[in-house]
Structure 1
């Protein structure tokens, strides 16, 4: 996750009417963009993710586990280094795609099997064929670094296409469990509130939540900023491993991949967000998912790699020997196994 001083200052400025805060926002809004950086048009940033159904229209059944990248994804995968080397090239390659992508996703427009933008995934035989956002650009909102407008788009999730109960009808069964695993949960309101709210909107209400956070804190710190009614709803369902780092050891109860394999059964809906900003540990856990992701349904992970465009945001917590070509390959490999794998912010 991008949480350096830059982000904290930006978020604080949004809630501050002081002169200094407004000067900060004005300077952010007027950052010089290279020639060719475009205006995204009328699509508003909501930071509440997309509304698009995750099932392909018309509804189609899968014959086997598979993944079909879209045309724009194939373009970026073939030219990963070239298309992500600077903002001018990046934004030029995304222009046109960005507007249609976000307009469809925010307006609940179903994607067809002929879409040049959205990729397709089959989680397994007899499953519903689904769409998922393409693996392109910097693996975040395609407006990132490309807008002339002053929105703080760094943390936008409008580009994501999450699963819903239409693509996973077993989630409506009383025998199905809906479990969320959060590795790196500093505060409920930072990310987990988004996930449980968005999934509930899409017909999947979590009934078990497991959270690991290495830095020990008291309950008031973890729930800070969370409305009382929201806390009252989710706290009884949440198991909080406070001050306990995740483990990469096979069979360890604090290895979230082990817990996923142990707890998640066929017909359950299980989602996992991995965000601990420690590449060595994250890499080991992702490798374990590649070997066997059990019955995990959806996965969120930010792969930190060497990138001129991202170095101010990721700083030193990166895989120095990898670039976005490796990121595309990694997420593709996970998706090819039927796992709805998303890049996170």
Structure 2
């Protein structure tokens, strides 16, 4: 009995030793994996800084650039807002106040960072207005000269947003964070003026990574602008869609094709009188409503996107003021076959928020939180999705 007892104790000690040895090996493995993760994380963090990104882009192929920017990285400010959007900020409630962060500086610790971003945005707007690539078409510029032009475009972002986490980042490069009121923030300053607000239809708040687009384009890339809701009678003196096209042209991106869909019947002679001369050769006018049915020729994704590939630059603006068609079309855009083709997307999502409800009225049914979530989802697919005006 004594020998058996000793054998049992020895066996128990051996099993204990094996257990400790196994735990020790697991601990080493976890440490190695953590070290590898931390190393990768630090590398990715370093590469996310503007200096490293710029240098890297100059030696990368367009396809490699798109792969590196495949995942969505929200800015620090956007991350903070989304973390408290349902609690403190209450964006999930009907008639949420989209201007609360602008006015109520004591309401949230987020507000100071919000105003810091607005100040950087103002600096960026000024730099964009002063910039001129003096190039008709980047694709025709020799590589060495084009790299210098791309670098000058990168410098605009670096100068205005020195911290790498000030902007969000998509496959299409750096982009403005998702911030209420989901249009020009200074709309909140004079939003009470209604239609007289100088910021209501101002698109200067949009941030574009033209340096990345410049590097991604090659001599065989096609450039496409799809305008869904393309009436040129909408603010004819300063049409927002034409302003956007002018902005791209200012940075050397000339559109080969401009597809314009408009449901309101307009005599062709009136349309072509209003189309600017410089885009007339590429202008395709479709005086029909867009349709959701994917087999329809009037579904823009089926009829147009299928003709292009990932090497092309495809820009889409959706604003037809018909949620019954807009939302299904956005849902189709989330599908991989479409999201991999569209690079930049502009969409005015009508939701029930306090200051914009006077304009949208019964056409708005969802909350501000719905809109924040929708644009996040679009960006996560790789699309640089902007809230339109």
Q: Normalising to structure 2: TM-score of the pair?
A: 0.65
Q: Deviations over 1:244-271 (max 9, x none)?
A: 1001011322111223431221211111
Aligned to 2:76: 71
Q: Distance between the aligned counterparts of 1:165 and 1:278, measured in 2?
A: 34
How big is the alpha-carbon RMSD for the aligned residues of Structure 1 and Structure 2?
2.6
Match of 2:368 among 319, 324, 329: 324
Q: Distance between the aligned counterparts of 2:269 and 2:81, measured in 1?
A: 44
Please state how far the C-alpha of 1:191 moved relative to its aligned partner. 3.0
Q: Is contact 2:171-2:384 (8 Å) kept?
A: no
Moved more, 72-81 or 198-207: 72-81
Q: Distance between the aligned counterparts of 1:262 and 1:87, measured in 2?
A: 37
SS of match in other structure, 2:375: helix
Aligned to 1:134: 177
* Pair 87,252 (structure 1): closer, same or farther in 2 beyond 3 Å: closer
Moved more, 204-213 or 59-68: 59-68
Aligned to 2:241: 192
Aligned to 1:110: 157
Moved more, 188-197 or 322-331: 188-197
SS of match in other structure, 2:225: strand
Aligned to 1:182: 227
Please state how far the C-alpha of 1:274 moved relative to its aligned partner. 0.4
* Pair 97,294 (structure 1): closer, same or farther in 2 beyond 3 Å: closer
How does 1:205-224 map onto structure 2 within 5 Å?
205-223=254-272
Aligned to 1:143: 186
Q: Distance between the aligned counterparts of 1:324 and 1:158, measured in 2?
A: 21
Match of 1:101 among 115, 121, 134: 121
Q: Is contact 1:73-1:117 (8 Å) kept?
A: no
Match of 1:297 among 340, 343, 351: 343
Match of 2:97 among 55, 75, 86: 86
Corresponding position: 1:238 with 2:283 = yes
Please state how far the C-alpha of 1:95 moved relative to its aligned partner. 2.6
* Pair 237,63 (structure 1): closer, same or farther in 2 beyond 3 Å: closer
Please state how far the C-alpha of 1:334 moved relative to its aligned partner. 1.1
Aligned to 2:140: none
Please state how far the C-alpha of 1:235 moved relative to its aligned partner. 1.9
Q: Distance between the aligned counterparts of 1:257 and 1:155, measured in 2?
A: 27
Q: Distance between the aligned counterparts of 2:213 and 2:281, measured in 1?
A: 28
Q: Is contact 1:65-1:122 (8 Å) kept?
A: yes
Whichever structure has more helix as a proportion of its residues is: 2
Larger Rg: 2
Q: Distance between the aligned counterparts of 1:295 and 1:69, measured in 2?
A: 21
Aligned to 2:3: none
> Please, which runs of 5 or more residues in structure 2 have no aligned partner?
1-48, 57-64, 106-110, 129-155
Count of matched residue positions in the alignment of Structure 1 and Structure 2: 277
Corresponding position: 1:311 with 2:357 = yes
Q: Is contact 1:163-1:202 (8 Å) kept?
A: no
Aligned to 1:162: 208
Q: Deviations over 1:254-294 (max 9, x none)?
A: 11122343122121111110000011210000000112324
Q: Distance between the aligned counterparts of 1:232 and 1:165, measured in 2?
A: 27
Corresponding position: 1:273 with 2:317 = yes
Q: Distance between the aligned counterparts of 1:309 and 1:57, measured in 2?
A: 39
Q: Is contact 1:183-1:276 (8 Å) kept?
A: yes
Q: Is contact 1:165-1:203 (8 Å) kept?
A: no
Please state how far the C-alpha of 1:203 moved relative to its aligned partner. 1.8
Q: Distance between the aligned counterparts of 2:332 and 2:98, measured in 1?
A: 34
Please state how far the C-alpha of 1:157 moved relative to its aligned partner. 1.0
Q: Normalising to structure 1: TM-score of the pair?
A: 0.73
